[in-house]
Structure 1
Amino acid sequence: MLEKLKREFALIALGLSGGVLLLALLLSLVTNWSTQTSITQSLLRQSLQDGVAVSPKMGSKDREGSVGADSMLTITVDVSSGGVMLSRSDSPAAIDEDDLREVVQQAVASPDEQGFDFGRHIAWATKKTAYGMRIALCDTFSRDKAMSKQALSSASILIVSLVVLYGVSRKFAGWAIRPVAEAWDAQRRFISDASHELKTPLAVILANTQILQKSTSVSEEDRRWVTSTADEAGHMKGLVEDLLTLARADEAKAGSVGAAAPLVDVDLTGIVEEAALEFDPVAFERGCEIECDAVQGVCVRGDRAQLARVASTLLDNATKYAPKGTTVGVKLAREGKHAHLTVNNGGPAIEAEDVKHLFDRFYRTDKARSREETGGFGLGLAIAKSIVEAHGGKIWAESTDADGTTFHVVI
């Protein structure tokens, strides 16, 4: 939970800082592009105002080598009303002869007074004259190349900055949630210590009540109070054991030495079939039946006792809420390197808001139902989740009116 909180904190900080940085870089690019475009348009307008010096033939030059002011120089062309080139100015602008003719034809055919050929990196502007039209053309190859380099450089800066920002945000997130982490650790230790301390008095209470239940000196009228005390002490013992299980799971997540049992090869097929057989009479008493379809030979690395508890918890939950006369479906399949266990009951669909909290501790979908009715404290699914996650797996639930409620476990 704390790691997730730290990650979310870092991502929020990264999103805000990265958004500001991205906006600044985009603004810089747009500003630069606007400035360069304004300069180009100014050159084109100036060329249209000047006269045209007749040149016998414009020489061609390597555009890759044209830099600085030379590449921004323009060529002006006078065109007759019939589209015939009458004359052009002499200029060091590196525009190929064929490109020049193509762009001139575009300018003559276009209804606009200015435009840009992105493929040839040539900007143009036109002005009507008494004999036809004057066209000014500007080679923008170097400008466009510089803009591309700036965009690539900005993208690289953005990526590096985001990586650095994420690292810094993670550091600050760890510092910011330190009080939460300390409170969480204190709560975890309290639950673990309190559960351990409660085990001894509970054991004494249960032992004393057992003696009193067997004693002949206790009247039948008083015996019912002893029985009630024994029942409640038994329920409390179950709660303490569940809290201890969760405390150990939290210690395992925190990396405590000796918190987790060693993992070995476990026959998951046998575990599922044994759990289905164990709950078959329970399902019969509750008015439903269990149908088990388990692929043979499915093995995983894990703790057999803990995985058996997951299967038992899901079957207990399914048979508890399955309507009478329905079937609880249990399936175990092999999916690549993973084992996929599903337990389905055809009960009424669970609200989507409740499905998200099914694995929360002490959570109940039906707040009106008491512990006496359900027989638990709302910790079973939370414990199942902690066990599955400790095995590197995933557990989730789906609930629809058509299919009922299905729990999935993938390990």
Structure 2
Amino acid sequence: MLKRLRRKFCAITLLLVGLVLVAALGSTFVSAANTQGEITRSMLEKSLDTGFAQPPTLGGGENADRAFVVTLDVSDAGVVLSRSGAAIEVSSDQMAGIIAKAIQSPSDSGHSKKLHVAWMKRQTDSGFTLALCDTTSRDSAIARQLGMDVAIFVGAMAALAVVVRILSKWALSPVERAWDQQRRFISDASHELKTPLAVICANSQILQRDASIPEGSRRWVESTAEEADHMKGLVEDLLTLARADEAAAGTTEDALRHDEVDLSSLVDEAALEFDAVAFERGCSIDSEVAGDIVVRGDADQLGRVVRTLLDNATKYAKRNSLVRVRLTQAGSHAKLTVANRGPLIEPEDLEHLFDRFYRTDKARSRQETGGYGLGLAIAKSTVDAHGGKIWATSDAAEGTCFHVTL
């Protein structure tokens, strides 16, 4: 969770600063390009007014390139009647192409980026007066400006990424401390509760076997024993989650086992195990398991994931319906799907299904459905620890489906 928060913090900061940089550098670049364009346009207009021109240089210094301008009197057919001004280094064919393009264009000005020539025309009695300007210096200046802006952007974003990564750790340190304290509290509290619960369960069992207790009082003993068993299950689930959190945070020496697990046999056995459970709940299991699918991981933990999904599917399935279990191989991944026909899950609930203690139906109590809302959270922790993915879909066409890839 903390890693995701840090990534989001970095991404949002880089995005916002990147947009500001793009806006600032982009406006500077556009302004410079417009300024160069206005200078070129001004020289072309002056050339058309005076008939010839050799304007001053666009750049500074003695070695700056000169922006030469030539004016042409051109007939309607594109024949050059006269010319004046400086020479432009373009071939006769290229010049003819520029003249033809200028005459045919509905606009009074244009620019050939390939030849680095800008033009402007004015209608005359005999045809057109055409002014051509060498924009080599202008185009080079704009290209240099663009390259410099890109270099500034890349360098600034790289430096910012380093700084933001450092700042994100500092900014999220209070959240990290709170998360660690919560994880330690759950772990410590669960451990501390195990001993008194063991005593309560043991004493309740002794009292249940005591024949001297009146029948009227025995129901209180049985109720106490039942609730103690429920609380024991909750504590065990909390300990499982605490160990998963510690393993994910790297604060425990317990390493996840990476044995070769015959997932096909594991799913087959779990489906067979839940056949009787499904029958009691008024549904049945239809399993289709591809053979010889092997994954690396912890067989006990993966078995718990499969049983949790089967337990949920049979618990919420409609009577006389099928719970479908499918295990297939997709490339280098194993895909498990457990689906049922039961109450559909609303889209806003789907994203919270794997949250701890979350229930889609707030009106239902634990006594009605069993469990504490931790089974799917444990399943997700287990799948995440194995480098896999788990998610759920729910629609009228397919029913409610839980998907796992490993």
Calculate the TM-score normalised by the size of structure 2: 0.94
Contact 1:332 1:339 in 2 (8 A): yes
Shift of 1:88: 1.1
Contact 1:340 1:410 in 2 (8 A): yes
Contact 2:69 2:85 in 1 (8 A): no
Tell me the equivalent position of 1:8. 8
Paired with 2:256 and 2:65, the residues of 1 have a C-alpha distance of 76
Tell me the equivalent position of 1:335. 330
Instruction: Output the amino acid matched with 2:215.
Output: E
Paired with 2:232 and 2:251, the residues of 1 have a C-alpha distance of 25
Tell me the equivalent position of 1:310. 305
Is 2:268 aligned against 1:273?
yes
Paired with 1:82 and 1:18, the residues of 2 have a C-alpha distance of 52
Tell me the equivalent position of 2:56. none
Paired with 1:163 and 1:401, the residues of 2 have a C-alpha distance of 48
Paired with 1:273 and 1:69, the residues of 2 have a C-alpha distance of 82
Q: Which moved more, 1:223-232 or 1:147-156?
A: 147-156
Instruction: Output the amino acid matched with 1:5.
Output: L
Shift of 1:319: 0.2
Contact 1:266 1:301 in 2 (8 A): yes
Residues 290-328 of structure 1 show CA distances to partners (whole Å, capped at 9, x for unaligned) of 111111111111111101100000000000000000110
Matches within 5 A, 1:206-285: 206-285=201-280
Tell me the equivalent position of 1:381. 376
Instruction: Output the amino acid matched with 2:139.
Output: D
Instruction: Output the amino acid matched with 1:312.
Output: R
Q: 1:261 to 1:115 in 2, by over 3 A?
A: closer
Contact 1:252 1:259 in 2 (8 A): yes
Contact 1:44 1:138 in 2 (8 A): yes
Shift of 1:253: 0.7
Contact 2:288 2:325 in 1 (8 A): yes
What SS does the corresponding residue of 2:394 show, helix, strand or coil? strand
Tell me the equivalent position of 1:184. 179
Instruction: Output the amino acid matched with 2:244.
Output: A
Shift of 1:82: 5.0
Paired with 1:218 and 1:380, the residues of 2 have a C-alpha distance of 37
Matches within 5 A, 1:4-403: 4-52=4-52, 70-81=65-76, 83-403=78-398
Identity across matched positions, percent = 56
Shift of 1:120: 2.7
Shift of 1:162: 2.1
Structure 2 stretches of 5 or more lacking a match?
A: 54-61
Shift of 1:404: 0.6
Q: Which moved more, 1:305-314 or 1:111-120?
A: 111-120
Shift of 1:198: 0.0
Q: 1:68 to 1:285 in 2, by over 3 A?
A: farther
Residues 352-402 of structure 1 show CA distances to partners (whole Å, capped at 9, x for unaligned) of 000110000000011111101111100000000000001110000011011
Contact 1:272 1:308 in 2 (8 A): yes
Contact 1:359 1:381 in 2 (8 A): yes
What SS does the corresponding residue of 1:89 show, helix, strand or coil? strand
Instruction: Output the amino acid matched with 1:11.
Output: A
Paired with 2:205 and 2:109, the residues of 1 have a C-alpha distance of 100
What SS does the corresponding residue of 2:82 show, helix, strand or coil? strand
Aligned length in residues: 398
CA RMSD of superposed structures (Å): 1.7
Shift of 1:139: 1.6
Tell me the equivalent position of 1:60. none
Paired with 2:266 and 2:76, the residues of 1 have a C-alpha distance of 92
Shift of 1:271: 1.0
Calculate the TM-score normalised by the size of structure 1: 0.93
Shift of 1:335: 1.4
Instruction: Output the amino acid matched with 2:12.
Output: I
Paired with 1:123 and 1:266, the residues of 2 have a C-alpha distance of 72
